[in-house]
Structure 1
Amino acid sequence: MIAVAQDPYTRKLLLDWFVELDTPEGFRAELVEGEFVLTPVPDGHHEHCISRIVRQLHRRSEFDLQFSGNKGLKLGQAHGLPQDHVIPDGTIVARAPRFFRGAPPWMPCEGVTMVLEVTFTRPDIDSEVKRRCYARGGIPLYLLVDRDASSTTLFSEPEKDDYRRLCTAAFGRPLTLPDPFAFGLDTTDFL
Protein backbone atom coordinates (compact mmCIF):
# COMPACT_ATOMS: atom_id res chain seq x y z
CA MET A 1 0.00 0.00 0.00
CA ILE A 2 1.12 3.53 -0.76
CA ALA A 3 0.35 6.20 1.85
CA VAL A 4 -1.08 9.51 0.63
CA ALA A 5 -0.94 13.13 1.80
CA GLN A 6 -4.21 14.66 2.97
CA ASP A 7 -4.22 18.09 1.31
CA PRO A 8 -7.05 18.75 -1.22
CA TYR A 9 -4.73 19.14 -4.21
CA THR A 10 -3.00 15.82 -3.55
CA ARG A 11 -6.36 14.09 -2.96
CA LYS A 12 -7.60 15.32 -6.35
CA LEU A 13 -4.42 14.24 -8.12
CA LEU A 14 -4.53 10.86 -6.42
CA LEU A 15 -8.14 10.24 -7.38
CA ASP A 16 -7.53 11.32 -10.98
CA TRP A 17 -4.46 9.09 -11.22
CA PHE A 18 -6.31 6.16 -9.67
CA VAL A 19 -9.24 6.42 -12.09
CA GLU A 20 -6.82 6.38 -15.07
CA LEU A 21 -4.58 3.66 -13.61
CA ASP A 22 -3.61 0.85 -15.98
CA THR A 23 -3.55 -2.06 -13.53
CA PRO A 24 -0.98 -4.78 -14.33
CA GLU A 25 -2.43 -7.99 -15.76
CA GLY A 26 -3.41 -10.45 -13.04
CA PHE A 27 -4.06 -7.74 -10.43
CA ARG A 28 -6.88 -5.46 -9.36
CA ALA A 29 -6.43 -2.02 -7.83
CA GLU A 30 -8.47 -0.30 -5.13
CA LEU A 31 -8.25 3.07 -3.38
CA VAL A 32 -9.03 2.34 0.27
CA GLU A 33 -8.79 5.01 2.97
CA GLY A 34 -6.29 7.00 0.93
CA GLU A 35 -4.06 4.04 0.08
CA PHE A 36 -3.61 2.05 -3.10
CA VAL A 37 -4.23 -1.66 -2.66
CA LEU A 38 -3.02 -3.94 -5.43
CA THR A 39 -4.27 -7.52 -5.10
CA PRO A 40 -3.33 -10.58 -7.19
CA VAL A 41 -5.95 -12.81 -8.79
CA PRO A 42 -7.42 -15.05 -6.04
CA ASP A 43 -6.89 -18.78 -5.58
CA GLY A 44 -9.42 -21.57 -6.14
CA HIS A 45 -10.57 -21.93 -2.52
CA HIS A 46 -11.37 -18.21 -2.46
CA GLU A 47 -13.57 -18.58 -5.54
CA HIS A 48 -15.10 -21.82 -4.21
CA CYS A 49 -16.40 -19.98 -1.13
CA ILE A 50 -17.92 -17.24 -3.28
CA SER A 51 -19.63 -19.70 -5.61
CA ARG A 52 -21.14 -21.63 -2.68
CA ILE A 53 -22.56 -18.44 -1.17
CA VAL A 54 -23.97 -17.21 -4.48
CA ARG A 55 -25.56 -20.60 -5.16
CA GLN A 56 -27.30 -20.52 -1.78
CA LEU A 57 -28.43 -16.93 -2.24
CA HIS A 58 -30.03 -17.78 -5.58
CA ARG A 59 -31.62 -21.02 -4.39
CA ARG A 60 -32.86 -19.94 -0.99
CA SER A 61 -33.89 -16.32 -1.51
CA GLU A 62 -37.55 -15.82 -2.35
CA PHE A 63 -36.95 -13.00 -4.82
CA ASP A 64 -34.85 -12.17 -7.85
CA LEU A 65 -31.43 -11.00 -6.76
CA GLN A 66 -28.60 -9.53 -8.77
CA PHE A 67 -24.98 -10.54 -8.17
CA SER A 68 -21.82 -8.98 -9.53
CA GLY A 69 -18.32 -10.22 -8.85
CA ASN A 70 -15.61 -7.59 -8.72
CA LYS A 71 -17.88 -4.54 -9.27
CA GLY A 72 -16.22 -1.22 -8.50
CA LEU A 73 -18.06 0.79 -5.83
CA LYS A 74 -17.57 4.42 -4.87
CA LEU A 75 -18.18 4.70 -1.13
CA GLY A 76 -17.82 7.38 1.51
CA GLN A 77 -14.52 8.84 2.54
CA ALA A 78 -12.53 8.92 5.74
CA HIS A 79 -11.87 12.40 7.13
CA GLY A 80 -9.46 14.28 4.87
CA LEU A 81 -8.93 11.41 2.41
CA PRO A 82 -10.11 10.80 -1.17
CA GLN A 83 -13.35 8.92 -1.77
CA ASP A 84 -12.94 5.16 -1.31
CA HIS A 85 -13.04 3.06 -4.50
CA VAL A 86 -13.47 -0.55 -3.43
CA ILE A 87 -14.01 -3.79 -5.38
CA PRO A 88 -15.87 -6.34 -3.24
CA ASP A 89 -15.56 -10.01 -4.13
CA GLY A 90 -19.34 -9.91 -4.47
CA THR A 91 -22.00 -7.22 -4.64
CA ILE A 92 -25.57 -8.37 -4.05
CA VAL A 93 -28.73 -6.40 -4.78
CA ALA A 94 -32.14 -7.66 -3.66
CA ARG A 95 -35.33 -6.98 -5.60
CA ALA A 96 -33.82 -4.76 -8.28
CA PRO A 97 -33.75 -6.47 -11.68
CA ARG A 98 -31.19 -5.03 -14.10
CA PHE A 99 -29.49 -3.06 -11.31
CA PHE A 100 -26.06 -3.39 -12.90
CA ARG A 101 -27.18 -2.87 -16.50
CA GLY A 102 -25.66 0.35 -17.81
CA ALA A 103 -23.69 0.99 -14.61
CA PRO A 104 -20.28 2.63 -15.00
CA PRO A 105 -17.12 0.75 -13.93
CA TRP A 106 -17.15 2.64 -10.61
CA MET A 107 -20.73 3.07 -9.45
CA PRO A 108 -22.28 4.59 -6.30
CA CYS A 109 -23.25 2.07 -3.61
CA GLU A 110 -26.85 3.26 -3.14
CA GLY A 111 -29.21 0.33 -3.57
CA VAL A 112 -26.62 -2.36 -2.73
CA THR A 113 -28.05 -4.84 -0.18
CA MET A 114 -24.92 -6.76 0.77
CA VAL A 115 -21.24 -7.01 -0.09
CA LEU A 116 -19.15 -10.15 0.25
CA GLU A 117 -15.43 -10.55 0.90
CA VAL A 118 -13.35 -13.71 1.26
CA THR A 119 -9.95 -13.11 2.87
CA PHE A 120 -6.89 -13.63 0.72
CA THR A 121 -3.42 -12.09 0.90
CA ARG A 122 -4.16 -9.31 3.43
CA PRO A 123 -6.99 -10.42 5.77
CA ASP A 124 -6.71 -7.16 7.77
CA ILE A 125 -7.84 -5.17 4.72
CA ASP A 126 -11.10 -7.18 4.52
CA SER A 127 -11.75 -7.53 8.26
CA GLU A 128 -10.91 -3.98 9.31
CA VAL A 129 -10.33 -1.42 6.57
CA LYS A 130 -13.00 -2.49 4.08
CA ARG A 131 -15.47 -3.02 6.93
CA ARG A 132 -15.11 0.68 7.78
CA CYS A 133 -15.46 1.65 4.09
CA TYR A 134 -18.66 -0.38 3.63
CA ALA A 135 -20.14 1.04 6.85
CA ARG A 136 -19.31 4.61 5.72
CA GLY A 137 -21.03 3.82 2.42
CA GLY A 138 -24.16 2.74 4.31
CA ILE A 139 -24.21 -0.78 2.84
CA PRO A 140 -26.71 -2.63 5.07
CA LEU A 141 -24.95 -6.02 5.21
CA TYR A 142 -21.30 -7.07 4.95
CA LEU A 143 -20.56 -10.81 4.78
CA LEU A 144 -16.94 -11.74 5.53
CA VAL A 145 -15.52 -15.23 5.03
CA ASP A 146 -12.33 -15.24 7.11
CA ARG A 147 -10.27 -18.21 5.97
CA ASP A 148 -7.55 -17.62 8.59
CA ALA A 149 -10.06 -17.66 11.46
CA SER A 150 -12.18 -20.41 9.81
CA SER A 151 -15.30 -18.35 10.37
CA THR A 152 -17.97 -16.36 8.56
CA THR A 153 -19.18 -13.05 9.98
CA LEU A 154 -22.17 -10.93 9.04
CA PHE A 155 -21.87 -7.24 9.90
CA SER A 156 -25.10 -5.22 9.98
CA GLU A 157 -26.52 -1.86 11.06
CA PRO A 158 -23.90 0.50 9.61
CA GLU A 159 -23.24 3.66 11.55
CA LYS A 160 -20.49 6.12 10.62
CA ASP A 161 -17.22 4.15 10.33
CA ASP A 162 -18.39 0.72 11.52
CA TYR A 163 -21.24 -1.72 11.93
CA ARG A 164 -23.11 -1.87 15.24
CA ARG A 165 -23.93 -5.59 15.04
CA LEU A 166 -22.01 -8.66 14.05
CA CYS A 167 -22.76 -12.36 14.11
CA THR A 168 -20.01 -14.96 13.62
CA ALA A 169 -20.23 -18.68 12.88
CA ALA A 170 -17.32 -21.12 12.72
CA PHE A 171 -16.96 -22.95 9.41
CA GLY A 172 -19.33 -25.91 9.50
CA ARG A 173 -22.02 -24.03 11.42
CA PRO A 174 -24.87 -22.10 9.78
CA LEU A 175 -24.89 -18.31 9.81
CA THR A 176 -28.33 -16.71 9.92
CA LEU A 177 -28.84 -14.10 7.22
CA PRO A 178 -31.55 -11.54 8.07
CA ASP A 179 -34.22 -10.12 5.77
CA PRO A 180 -34.37 -9.80 2.89
CA PHE A 181 -32.60 -13.20 2.67
CA ALA A 182 -33.93 -14.86 5.87
CA PHE A 183 -32.16 -18.22 5.83
CA GLY A 184 -29.23 -20.00 7.46
CA LEU A 185 -26.14 -19.87 5.26
CA ASP A 186 -24.47 -23.28 5.19
CA THR A 187 -20.70 -22.90 5.74
CA THR A 188 -19.82 -26.63 5.86
CA ASP A 189 -18.25 -26.58 2.41
CA PHE A 190 -15.80 -23.81 3.45
CA LEU A 191 -13.80 -26.28 5.59
Structure 2
Amino acid sequence: MSAPPADRPELRLDAFEAIADTAARHDVVLELVGGELGVRPAPDGDRGQILAWLQRACAQQRPDLWLFGRQGLRLVPSRQAGAAYPAGAARPDGTLAPAEYFAGQGERADSRGVLLVAEITSFDRRADERHRVEKPRAYAESGIPLHLLVDRDSDTVTVHSEPVKGRYRVIRSYDYGERVELPLIGAVLDTEELKDYSR
Protein backbone atom coordinates (compact mmCIF):
# COMPACT_ATOMS: atom_id res chain seq x y z
CA MET A 1 0.00 0.00 0.00
CA SER A 2 1.44 3.34 -0.97
CA ALA A 3 1.37 6.57 1.02
CA PRO A 4 -1.54 8.96 0.45
CA PRO A 5 -1.05 11.24 -2.59
CA ALA A 6 0.90 14.44 -1.86
CA ASP A 7 -2.06 16.63 -2.90
CA ARG A 8 -4.34 15.02 -0.29
CA PRO A 9 -3.39 16.05 3.26
CA GLU A 10 -3.28 13.39 5.95
CA LEU A 11 -5.80 13.64 8.74
CA ARG A 12 -4.18 14.61 12.03
CA LEU A 13 -4.77 12.34 15.02
CA ASP A 14 -6.40 15.06 17.15
CA ALA A 15 -8.85 15.96 14.36
CA PHE A 16 -9.65 12.28 13.90
CA GLU A 17 -10.37 11.84 17.62
CA ALA A 18 -12.94 14.66 17.59
CA ILE A 19 -14.73 13.14 14.57
CA ALA A 20 -14.57 9.60 16.02
CA ASP A 21 -16.19 10.67 19.28
CA THR A 22 -19.18 11.98 17.31
CA ALA A 23 -19.39 8.86 15.11
CA ALA A 24 -19.45 6.57 18.15
CA ARG A 25 -22.86 7.97 19.02
CA HIS A 26 -24.21 6.86 15.60
CA ASP A 27 -23.36 3.11 15.58
CA VAL A 28 -20.32 3.33 13.32
CA VAL A 29 -16.67 2.99 14.24
CA LEU A 30 -14.02 5.28 12.79
CA GLU A 31 -10.35 4.38 12.57
CA LEU A 32 -7.27 6.23 11.36
CA VAL A 33 -4.98 3.72 9.65
CA GLY A 34 -2.20 4.71 7.28
CA GLY A 35 -3.17 8.37 7.52
CA GLU A 36 -6.62 7.69 6.08
CA LEU A 37 -10.01 7.74 7.74
CA GLY A 38 -11.86 4.41 7.75
CA VAL A 39 -15.49 3.70 8.63
CA ARG A 40 -16.66 0.31 9.93
CA PRO A 41 -20.24 -0.80 10.41
CA ALA A 42 -21.41 -1.69 13.88
CA PRO A 43 -20.79 -5.36 14.77
CA ASP A 44 -23.36 -8.00 13.79
CA GLY A 45 -24.44 -10.98 15.92
CA ASP A 46 -22.08 -13.53 14.38
CA ARG A 47 -19.16 -11.20 14.86
CA GLY A 48 -20.08 -10.92 18.53
CA GLN A 49 -20.29 -14.71 18.83
CA ILE A 50 -16.84 -15.11 17.25
CA LEU A 51 -15.37 -12.60 19.67
CA ALA A 52 -17.01 -14.42 22.61
CA TRP A 53 -15.51 -17.71 21.35
CA LEU A 54 -12.06 -16.13 21.23
CA GLN A 55 -12.44 -14.56 24.68
CA ARG A 56 -13.42 -17.92 26.17
CA ALA A 57 -10.53 -19.76 24.49
CA CYS A 58 -7.96 -17.22 25.68
CA ALA A 59 -9.34 -17.12 29.24
CA GLN A 60 -9.23 -20.91 29.54
CA GLN A 61 -5.62 -21.18 28.40
CA ARG A 62 -4.11 -17.90 29.59
CA PRO A 63 -6.08 -16.55 32.57
CA ASP A 64 -3.29 -14.01 33.18
CA LEU A 65 -4.18 -12.34 29.87
CA TRP A 66 -7.50 -10.73 29.01
CA LEU A 67 -9.05 -10.27 25.59
CA PHE A 68 -10.64 -6.82 25.62
CA GLY A 69 -13.40 -6.17 23.10
CA ARG A 70 -13.25 -3.02 20.97
CA GLN A 71 -10.54 -1.28 23.02
CA GLY A 72 -9.28 1.85 21.27
CA LEU A 73 -5.55 1.85 20.51
CA ARG A 74 -3.07 4.51 19.55
CA LEU A 75 -0.88 2.90 16.90
CA VAL A 76 2.62 4.22 17.48
CA PRO A 77 5.06 3.14 14.75
CA SER A 78 8.17 1.53 16.18
CA ARG A 79 11.58 2.90 15.17
CA GLN A 80 12.60 -0.46 13.74
CA ALA A 81 9.60 -0.54 11.41
CA GLY A 82 10.73 2.24 9.12
CA ALA A 83 7.06 3.26 9.15
CA ALA A 84 5.61 5.00 6.13
CA TYR A 85 2.76 6.50 8.16
CA PRO A 86 2.36 8.64 11.28
CA ALA A 87 0.63 7.49 14.44
CA GLY A 88 -2.90 6.26 13.97
CA ALA A 89 -5.86 4.97 15.93
CA ALA A 90 -7.68 1.66 15.62
CA ARG A 91 -10.39 -0.18 17.49
CA PRO A 92 -9.71 -3.90 16.94
CA ASP A 93 -12.47 -6.39 17.59
CA GLY A 94 -10.26 -7.93 20.29
CA THR A 95 -7.03 -6.92 22.03
CA LEU A 96 -5.08 -9.38 24.17
CA ALA A 97 -2.98 -7.84 26.94
CA PRO A 98 -2.03 -8.42 30.59
CA ALA A 99 -5.10 -8.19 32.83
CA GLU A 100 -4.46 -4.68 34.20
CA TYR A 101 -2.78 -3.20 31.12
CA PHE A 102 -5.51 -0.74 30.10
CA ALA A 103 -6.28 0.58 33.59
CA GLY A 104 -6.11 4.38 33.64
CA GLN A 105 -5.20 4.76 29.97
CA GLY A 106 -8.41 6.30 28.65
CA GLU A 107 -10.28 5.62 25.43
CA ARG A 108 -7.23 5.12 23.18
CA ALA A 109 -4.47 3.21 24.91
CA ASP A 110 -0.83 2.77 23.97
CA SER A 111 -0.46 -0.25 21.68
CA ARG A 112 3.09 -1.03 22.78
CA GLY A 113 2.06 -3.41 25.60
CA VAL A 114 -0.46 -5.33 23.49
CA LEU A 115 0.35 -8.98 22.67
CA LEU A 116 -2.31 -9.68 20.02
CA VAL A 117 -4.97 -7.84 18.08
CA ALA A 118 -7.87 -9.77 16.58
CA GLU A 119 -10.01 -8.64 13.67
CA ILE A 120 -13.16 -10.24 12.29
CA THR A 121 -13.99 -9.24 8.74
CA SER A 122 -17.10 -7.24 8.06
CA PHE A 123 -19.20 -7.60 4.93
CA ASP A 124 -18.63 -4.22 3.33
CA ARG A 125 -16.95 -3.04 0.14
CA ARG A 126 -13.70 -1.93 1.80
CA ALA A 127 -13.22 -5.01 3.97
CA ASP A 128 -10.63 -6.56 1.66
CA GLU A 129 -8.26 -3.61 1.66
CA ARG A 130 -8.84 -2.62 5.27
CA HIS A 131 -8.65 -6.06 6.91
CA ARG A 132 -6.14 -7.81 4.66
CA VAL A 133 -3.76 -4.98 3.74
CA GLU A 134 -4.01 -1.78 5.77
CA LYS A 135 -4.49 -3.12 9.28
CA PRO A 136 -1.84 -5.86 9.17
CA ARG A 137 0.65 -3.25 8.02
CA ALA A 138 -0.35 -0.74 10.70
CA TYR A 139 -0.20 -3.38 13.43
CA ALA A 140 3.19 -4.64 12.23
CA GLU A 141 4.54 -1.09 12.06
CA SER A 142 3.41 -0.63 15.67
CA GLY A 143 5.33 -3.76 16.69
CA ILE A 144 2.28 -5.70 17.90
CA PRO A 145 3.61 -9.29 18.10
CA LEU A 146 0.51 -11.10 16.78
CA HIS A 147 -2.41 -10.20 14.54
CA LEU A 148 -5.26 -12.71 14.22
CA LEU A 149 -7.70 -12.32 11.35
CA VAL A 150 -10.94 -14.30 11.30
CA ASP A 151 -11.90 -14.03 7.64
CA ARG A 152 -15.61 -14.66 7.17
CA ASP A 153 -15.36 -14.40 3.38
CA SER A 154 -13.03 -17.40 3.08
CA ASP A 155 -13.85 -19.22 6.36
CA THR A 156 -10.21 -19.01 7.44
CA VAL A 157 -8.20 -17.85 10.42
CA THR A 158 -4.89 -16.17 9.62
CA VAL A 159 -2.12 -15.60 12.15
CA HIS A 160 0.41 -12.85 11.40
CA SER A 161 3.56 -12.97 13.53
CA GLU A 162 7.13 -11.70 13.78
CA PRO A 163 6.77 -8.02 12.89
CA VAL A 164 9.93 -6.82 11.15
CA LYS A 165 10.43 -3.52 9.33
CA GLY A 166 6.74 -2.73 9.09
CA ARG A 167 5.44 -6.11 7.99
CA TYR A 168 4.72 -9.50 9.48
CA ARG A 169 7.37 -11.96 8.40
CA VAL A 170 5.26 -15.08 9.10
CA ILE A 171 1.67 -15.41 7.87
CA ARG A 172 -0.20 -18.72 8.26
CA SER A 173 -3.81 -19.38 7.28
CA TYR A 174 -6.02 -22.18 8.59
CA ASP A 175 -9.44 -23.38 7.46
CA TYR A 176 -12.28 -23.37 9.97
CA GLY A 177 -12.08 -26.66 11.85
CA GLU A 178 -8.27 -26.71 12.12
CA ARG A 179 -6.29 -26.11 15.30
CA VAL A 180 -4.56 -22.73 15.27
CA GLU A 181 -1.40 -22.16 17.29
CA LEU A 182 -0.73 -18.71 18.69
CA PRO A 183 3.05 -18.38 18.97
CA LEU A 184 4.46 -16.48 21.97
CA ILE A 185 1.17 -16.85 23.83
CA GLY A 186 1.22 -20.63 24.14
CA ALA A 187 -2.44 -21.05 23.22
CA VAL A 188 -4.13 -23.27 20.64
CA LEU A 189 -7.51 -22.37 19.18
CA ASP A 190 -9.95 -25.10 18.18
CA THR A 191 -11.77 -23.39 15.30
CA GLU A 192 -14.46 -26.06 14.77
CA GLU A 193 -17.05 -23.83 16.41
CA LEU A 194 -16.48 -21.11 13.81
CA LYS A 195 -18.30 -23.26 11.26
CA ASP A 196 -21.51 -22.41 13.14
CA TYR A 197 -21.05 -18.74 12.27
CA SER A 198 -20.24 -19.21 8.60
CA ARG A 199 -22.48 -17.74 5.89
Q: Which residue identity does 1:85 align to in structure 2?
A: A
Describe how 1:1-191 pairs up with structure 2 within 5 A.
6=6, 10-11=9-10, 14-21=12-19, 22-23=22-23, 25-61=26-62, 63-76=63-76, 78-79=83-84, 81-93=85-97, 96-120=98-122, 121=124, 122-180=127-185, 182-191=186-195
| Cα distance in structure 1, aligned partners of 2:94 and 2:41 | 16
| Change beyond 3 A, Cα 1:127–1:4 | closer
| Cα distance in structure 2, aligned partners of 1:146 and 1:97 | 27
Instruction: Compute the RMSD of aligned alpha carbons.
Output: 2.0
Q: Which residue identity does 2:112 align to in structure 1?
A: E
| Change beyond 3 A, Cα 1:46–1:65 | same
Structure 1: gaps (5+ residues): none
Higher mean displacement: 69-78 or 150-159: 69-78
| Cα distance in structure 1, aligned partners of 2:109 and 2:146 | 18
Q: Are the aligned partners of 1:66 and 1:99 in contact in 2 as well (CA < 8 Å)?
A: no
SS across alignment from 1:58 = helix
Identity %: 34
| Cα distance in structure 2, aligned partners of 1:57 and 1:16 | 33
* Cα deviation, residue 112, structure 1: 0.5
| Change beyond 3 A, Cα 1:123–1:4 | closer
TM-score (norm 2): 0.83
* Cα deviation, residue 179, structure 1: 2.9
Structure 2: gaps (5+ residues): 78-82
| Cα distance in structure 2, aligned partners of 1:70 and 1:161 | 23
| Cα distance in structure 2, aligned partners of 1:17 and 1:127 | 26
Q: Are the aligned partners of 1:74 and 1:108 in contact in 2 as well (CA < 8 Å)?
A: yes
- Higher helix proportion (structure 1 or 2): 2
SS across alignment from 2:114 = coil
* Cα deviation, residue 4, structure 1: 6.0
| Cα distance in structure 2, aligned partners of 1:4 and 1:124 | 14
Q: Are the aligned partners of 2:76 and 2:112 in contact in 1 as well (CA < 8 Å)?
A: no
How many residues of Structure 1 are paired with residues of Structure 2 in the alignment? 181
SS across alignment from 1:91 = strand
* Cα deviation, residue 14, structure 1: 3.1
Q: Are the aligned partners of 2:93 and 2:119 in contact in 1 as well (CA < 8 Å)?
A: yes
Deviation >4 Å, runs of 4+: 3-7
Q: Deviations over 1:83-108 (max 9, x none)?
A: 22111101101xx3311111121121
